[in-house]
Amino acid sequence: MLRRVSQFGLGTTGLANCLIGRRPMLARALLILCYHRVVPMDEPDEFPFDSDLVSATPVDFAWQMQFLRRHFTPISVETLLAAIAGERPLPPRSVLVTFDDGYDDCFHYALPILKSEGMPGCVFVSSGLIGSEDTFWFDQLAYAVLATETPRLELPEIGIVAELPTGRPARRKLYARIVAALKRVPDPLRVELVERTKRQCRVTPDRDVRGLSRPMSASHVMEASRSGLSVQSHTVSHPILSNVDADRLRAELMESRVAIGELTGIAPDVLAYPNGTWNDFGQREVDAARACGYRAAVTYESGFQMADSLDPFRLLRLPVNWRHSRSWFRTMLAVPEVASGSRAPVEVADATG
Where on the chain is the footprint of Zn ion (CB under 5 A)? 100-101
Nearer Cβ to Zn ion (83/129): 129
Three-state DSSP at 251 gives: helix
Smallest gap from Cβ 309 to Zn ion, in A, equals: 26
The Cα-based distances of 179 to 54, 169, 182, 193, 212 in angstroms read 17, 15, 5, 10, 20
- Give min distance, CB of 94 to Zn ion, in A: 23
**CB-nearer residue toward Zn ion: 100 or 285:** 100
Tell me the C-alpha distance between 164 and 178, whole Å: 12
Q: Kindly state the smallest distance separating residue 85's Cβ from Zn ion, in Å.
A: 26
Smallest gap, in angstroms, from Cβ of residue 203 to Zn ion? 24
The residue among 100 and 104 lying less far from Zn ion, judged by its C-beta, is 100
238 sits in the region (left: phi over 0; alpha: psi -120 to 50; else beta) called left
CB nearer to Zn ion: pick between 73 and 342:
342
Of the candidates 302, 297, 299, the one whose C-alpha atom is nearest the C-alpha of residue 332 is: 302
- The one-letter amino acid code at 106 reads C
Residue/partner pairs of 186-190 with CB below 8 Å, 24 or more apart: 186/243, 187/239, 187/240, 187/243, 187/244, 187/248, 189/157, 190/137, 190/239, 190/240, 190/243
**Whose Cβ is closer to Zn ion: residue 50's or residue 101's?**
101
Which CB sits closer to Zn ion, 93 or 234? 234
Numbers of helices and strands, H then E, in the chain = 15, 13
Q: How far is the CB of 238 from Zn ion (least distance, A)?
A: 6
Ranges of H-type helices in 211-245: 218-226
CB 101, min distance to Zn ion, A: 4
